[in-house]
Structure 1
Amino acid sequence: MIVSGSTSQSLAAALAEATGEPLAHVEFERFPDGELMGKVPDFSADRAVVVASTDSSDAHVELLQLQDAVREAGAEEVVTVLPYMGYARQDAAFEPGEPVSVRAMARAISTGTDRVLTVNPHEPDVTEHFTVPAETVDAAGRLADPLPADLTDPVFCSPDEGAIDIAATVRDAYGSGETDYFEKTRLSGSEVEIEPSDTDVAGRDVVLTDDIIATGSTMSESVAVLDERGAARVFVTCVHPMLAANAHTKLARAGVETIYGTDTIERPVSAVSVAPVVADAL
Structure 2
Amino acid sequence: MKSDIQLKLISGNANRPLAEAIARRMTVYRGGPVQLANARVERFNDKEIFVEVFDNVRDEDMFIIQPTSNPANDNLMELLIMADALKRSSAQRITAVIPYFGYARQDRRTSARTPISAKLVANLITNAGIDRVLTVDLHAGQIQGFFDIPVDNLYSAPVFALDIKHNFKKLDEVTVVSPDVGGVARARELAKRIDAGLAIVDKRRSRPGEIESMTVIGDVKDRVCIIVDDICDTAGTLCAAASLLKDQGAKEVHAYITHGVLSGPAVERVTNSALKSLVVTDSIEQSAAVRKARNIRAVPLAPLLAQAVLNISNGASVSMLFTEETLGPIYEAFYPGH
Give the structure-2-normalised TM-score: 0.76
2:23 corresponds to which of 7, 10, 16:
16
| Partner residue of 1:274 out of 261, 279, 301 | 301
* CA distance 1:9–1:207, shift in 2 (3 Å): same
Counterpart Cα distance in 1 of 2:123 and 2:297: 29
Assess, with a 3 A threshold, how the Cα gap between structure 1 residues 6 and 151 changes in structure 2: closer, same or farther.
Answer: farther
1:194 and 1:157 mapped to 2: Cα distance?
A: 17
2:268 to 226, 249, 263: 249
SS at match of 2:216: coil
Q: Which residue of 2 aligns with 1:41?
A: 54
Q: Please say if 1:82 is aligned against 2:82.
A: no
Alignment CA distance shift 1:194-1:241 (3 Å): farther
2:318 is matched with which residue?
none
Q: Are the structure 2 counterparts of residues 255 and 197 from structure 1 closer, same or farther at C-alpha, using a change threshold of 3 Å?
A: closer
Aligned-residue offset at 1:130: 1.3
Q: Aligned partners of 2:186 and 2:170: how far apart in 1? A: 18
* Match of residue 254 from structure 2: 235
**Deviations 1:63-109, CA, capped at 9 Å, x for gaps:** 00111122233311001121111111112234444321111111000
Corresponding position: 1:133 with 2:150: yes
Give the alignment of 1:124-273 within 5 angstroms.
Answer: 124-147=141-164, 148-151=167-170, 153-173=173-193, 175-267=194-286, 268=291, 269=296, 271-273=298-300
Q: CA RMSD in A?
A: 2.1
> CA deviation digits over 1:113-157, x for unaligned, max 9?
111122111111111111222232112222234442325601111
Relative to the length of structure 1, the TM-score reads: 0.90
Give the AA of the match of 1:5. G
Q: Is the 8 A contact 2:201 2:217 kept in 1?
A: no
Paired AA for residue 73 in structure 1: S
| Residue of structure 2 equivalent to 1:62 | 78
Please, which runs of 5 or more residues in structure 1 have no aligned partner?
Answer: none
Q: Deviations over 1:4-26 (max 9, x none)?
A: 12112222223223434432233
* 2:145 partner amino acid: E
SS class of match (2:272): helix
Cα deviation 1:200-251 (Å, max 9, x = unaligned): 3222211111010011121111111111112122111101100110112112
| 50-59 or 152-161, which deviates more | 152-161
2:30 is the counterpart of 1:3: no
| 1:27 aligned partner | 40
Q: 1:194 to 1:83 in 2, by over 3 A?
A: farther
Alpha-carbon distance in structure 2 between the residues aligned to 1:205 and 1:190: 28
Is contact 1:212-1:238 (8 Å) kept? yes
8 Å Cα contact 2:135/2:153 also seen in 1: yes
Residue 71 (1) aligns with residue 84 (2): no
- How far the C-alpha of 1:270 sits from its partner, in A, is 5.5
CA distance in 2, matches of 1:155, 1:245: 29
Give the alignment partner of residue 119 of structure 1, picking from 128, 136, 142: 136
Cα separation, 2, equivalents of 1:94 and 1:206: 31
Preserved CA contact (<8 Å) 1:82 1:117: yes
1:145–1:38 CA distance, 2 compared to 1 (3 A): farther
CA contact 2:199–2:219 (8 Å) conserved in 1: no
- Given that residues 54 and 86 in structure 1 are in contact (C-alpha distance below 8 angstroms), is that contact kept between their aligned partners in structure 2? yes
1:169-194 C-alpha deviation (Å, 9 max, x unpaired): 33344x34212221122333322245
| Percentage of identical aligned residues | 28
Which of 37-46 and 237-246 deviates more? 37-46
Rounded to whole Å, the distance in 2 between the matches of 1:151 and 1:251 is 24
Q: Which has the larger displacement, 101-110 or 195-204?
A: 195-204
Question: Quick check: 1:201–1:230 contact (8 Å CA) kept in 2?
Answer: yes
Whichever residue aligns with residue 233 of structure 2, its letter is A
What one-letter code is carried by the residue in structure 2 that aligns with 1:126?
I
- Unaligned 5+ residue runs, structure 2? 1-7, 313-338
In 2: Cα distance, 1:151 partner to 1:6 partner? 41
Moved more, 106-115 or 5-14: 5-14
How much does 1:40 deviate? 2.5
